[in-house]
Amino acid sequence: MSSRTRTRGEGAFGTIVGIAIVVVVGIALFKIVPLHYAGNKVKDAMSEQANFAGMKPPDKIQYEIFVIAQEAGTPLTIQDIKVRRHGSDVIVEAKYIQKVSVLGYQYTYAFDHTVQKPVF
């Protein structure tokens, strides 16, 4: 009977540690995943707008990317978006840094993408 009382409750510590790890990872993902999602929306907008470079002027492309970036909640300014033509290609560049604090740790999301597509 004494061996039974010694083993009782030993698995509870491991369960509590496991739950704590899941909670910490969940909180981190809750703060970090939206940054990546917003960055992907901006990258998709850059690619989509580059497809229309033959029909739109560069300042219109720049503005439309800026609007989508603002809707996504990114700190991207219109000056951070560069649209230029190089030969028969259009090059769209955007760069910004966004920081978020996750349980005392400062996470820095650096968005620096370039899209290059031919102009039709």
What pTM was computed for the model? 0.80
Q: Is the pLDDT of residue 2 over 70?
A: no
Record the tokens describing residue 106, joined without a space: 């400062």
CA distance 55 to 6: 77
Closest CA to 44 of 63, 61, 74, 65: 65
Count of domains observed in the chain: 1
Instruction: Check residues 120 and 119 and name the one with the higher pLDDT.
Output: 119
C-alpha separations of 44 from 39, 60, 94 in Å: 9, 16, 12
Helices and strands of the chain, counted as H and E runs: 3, 3
What would the pLDDT profile of 22-60 be if each residue is shown by its tens digit? 999 999 999 999 999 999 999 999 999 999 888 999 999
Segments forming the whole domain that contains residue 34: 2-118
What would the pLDDT profile of 10-23 be if each residue is shown by its tens digit? 678 888 999 999 99
pLDDT of residue 9: 57
Q: SS3 for 71?
A: helix
